[in-house]
Chain A
Amino acid sequence: MNIPAAHRGPQPWHLTDALVDGYATHSLAEPDAWSVETHVEVCGPCAARVSAAVRATDAGPLLAASRTALLGLCRTPAPHTGLPGLLPAPAARAELPGLPAPAPHTRRTSFLRSPASPTHRHRPWWSTGPALRGSWLASLLLLITAALALAYGTGVDVPRSALLALAPVLPVAAVAVSYGRGVDPLYEIAAASPRGGLRLLLTRTAVALAVCVPLLTVTGALLPAGQGGPAAAAWLLPGLALTLGTLALATVLDCRIAAAVTGTGWLLAVGLPALAARPPRDYAQAQASAHALTESLSRYVNGLGAQAGWALAAALCAGALALRRTAFDHAAFDHTTAHGPRA
């Protein structure tokens, strides 16, 4: 024993660096190690030094893992027996994969739940799916910015017509990027989940609509209307009908193809007259094209008759979707799995 007897009296005494290092590296004689342990039980500063020294050794990552494991245990629902406790490092490692488990059929509410768990913080965004995390949102914001910049930067009255012509395509595009093997990396897992299928597709579409409808409508209202141009809200029913039409088509086609069909159809119907009439070469012709677009768009959306037509189309598409809803019960046929080398 190399701790001087004089140091073991009532007077203040602290561990030497040699003792701390020796303890951390397992090189102390056992009685010395016991002395260190007895001391750190009552001396905070020395305990902190020993902890730091041990964490700096190879055992550090394992201790960190044990700590995480213990914290995890505190958050698990069922009470446990046989807590691993602060095991020495090698034992802690062996314990990690087989941590005591509550019986799989228990579904008790946890007593100790960390209220600020990150899983709770992110929850509202989970249902949004790929649309709001990817390029779709960027396209939406770009479209709005471009429309406002053109309107207030150039004074041309095209932006509202252009915006309203493009607006119905955005929720359609959101459907395209929301569901399907090619676009949702979690598609296969979602298809095996109670929230998957049509329910997930509708949730994601609804979220996309909730984001783009107010933004586009308000932007439309901020833009100069021009003569005889459609009202800012005129795109809502066409947008809804095209979205539901895309969903109905998606019962027989891939979502992306369905969206391409409805989106392109709309853009051609609205935009072709404007482009066919006068391909714009200079400012005056661009103005003329803009007016042609406004006229063409007005034909489709202005007036009670047109709006009633869109409402009817939306209702029909919703009905078709409801009739064909079983198409989403299973995942789409997967070529790679069925014919791939590892099937």
Chain B
Amino acid sequence: MPLPPRPHISLSALTVHHRKTLALDALTLDFERGVHGLLGPNGAGKTSLIRVLATVAPATAGRVEVLGHDLADRRALPAVRRRLGYLPQDFGFYPGFTVREFVAYVAWLKELSRETTGAAVERALERVGLGDRADARMKTLSGGMLRRAGIAQALVNEPDVLLLDEPTAGLDPEQRVEFRELLRDVGRDAAVLVSTHLVEDVAAACTEVTLLAEGRVAYRGTTEQLAALGADPAEAGDHPIERGYTAALRHHRATAPSAAGVTR
């Protein structure tokens, strides 16, 4: 199947209001294939952006195109949703379900055919290393395993757009290394957006970084470019990416004509 000729995700002047709060302020961005890190302080709009792209929250203004479909066109929503994988920041589950049933249920929600569901579920579980826990009940899983089950459900339809909101929360260091490997693998064919607080994840797995602050793009560049910003060891942070993050954010706040820190 040929890839869509247009970018996987294209935003122009995307604005999102939550009641009186301005969550996203006229964002214009494209995301191609690859693994994209979404960084930013709390309240920067990372979750708001991911939820709009997941078709869960509507845009207040502006245009959002995912896989060539305008999300404002409600008839296009099912087609986009079929090709989408989404791990919410907090996700629930039916406690009585086994891990396999949980992922299979999402496969059903994603309209996978009956014939492909079984294999797709096993494969998603293998990819997150839960193959041996497929028959365990969800309520018996540890935090890290739950998170992996969440990642498995997001992968079950082999999405073209994968949206992960804080996916490494609760994973131990070894699992995070395996998870980054998985991200790179998925990112070869799909656009993967990872919102995270953990800069090491960005450094290791992402090809490109978008730093949001107060609903705007504070910085955009490759991981190497952000690390280069943090070359000055006097900057706050232990890791070049961390220092680059601080430097980019400080630069944005110094130059952007906005009420800094409104929603912190």
Are A192 and B89 closer than 8 Å at their CB atoms? no
Are B189 and A104 closer than 8 Å at their CB atoms? yes
- CB-CB under 8 A from A77, the residues of chain B are 116, 119-120, 123
- CB-CB under 8 A from A61, the residues of chain B are 132
Q: Among the listed A72, A75, A185, A194, which residue makes an inter-chain contact with B110, where contact means beta carbons less than 8 Å apart? A: A194
Are B74 and A329 closer than 8 Å at their CB atoms? yes
Q: How many residues of A contact B (CB 8 A)?
A: 62
Q: A72-B131, A97-B178, A193-B81 are in contact. Are A337 and B89 (CB under 8 A)?
A: yes
Are A194 and B116 closer than 8 Å at their CB atoms? no
Question: Interface with A: B180-188, B202-210, B252-260, which one?
Answer: B180-188
Are A118 and B47 closer than 8 Å at their CB atoms? no
Are B117 and A119 closer than 8 Å at their CB atoms? yes
A338 beta carbon closer than 8 Å to chain B: yes
B125 beta carbon closer than 8 Å to chain A: yes
Are B93 and A186 closer than 8 Å at their CB atoms? yes
- CB-CB under 8 A from A133, the residues of chain B are 94, 96
- CB-CB under 8 A from B101, the residues of chain A are 118-119, 122
Are B127 and A97 closer than 8 Å at their CB atoms? yes
Are A110 and B116 closer than 8 Å at their CB atoms? yes
Give A96 to B74 CA distance when docked, in angstroms.
Answer: 40
Give A193 to B80 CA distance when docked, in angstroms.
Answer: 9
Give A135 to B89 CA distance when docked, in angstroms.
Answer: 28
Are A64 and B54 closer than 8 Å at their CB atoms? no
Q: Among the listed B18, B56, B58, B84, which residue makes an inter-chain contact with A188, where contact means beta carbons less than 8 Å apart? A: B56
Give A65 to B178 CA distance when docked, in angstroms.
Answer: 15
Q: Among the listed A118, A186, A192, which residue makes an inter-chain contact with B54, where contact means beta carbons less than 8 Å apart? A: A192
Q: How far is the CB of B148 from chain A (nearest CB, A)?
A: 10
Contact pattern, A 62-100, Cβ under 8 Å of B = 1, otherwise 0: 001100110111011100000000000000000011110
Give A120 to B107 CA distance when docked, in angstroms.
Answer: 12
Interface residues of B in 175-219 (CB under 8 A from A): 178-179, 181-182, 185-186, 188-190
Are A189 and B18 closer than 8 Å at their CB atoms? no
Q: How far is the CB of A335 from chain B (nearest CB, A)?
A: 9
Are B118 and A75 closer than 8 Å at their CB atoms? yes
Interface residues of B in 2-20 (CB under 8 A from A): 3, 18-19
Interface residues of A (CB under 8 A from B): 61, 64-65, 68-69, 71-73, 75-77, 96-99, 101, 103-107, 109-110, 113-114, 117-120, 122-123, 126-127, 130, 133, 184-196, 200, 326, 329-331, 333-334, 336-339, 341-343
- 19 inter-chain pairs at a CB distance below 8 angstroms, sorted by A residue, are A68-B132, A72-B126, A96-B131, A97-B128, A97-B178, A97-B182, A110-B115, A110-B116, A120-B114, A123-B114, A187-B92, A189-B153, A192-B86, A193-B106, A196-B81, A200-B109, A330-B58, A343-B43, A343-B46
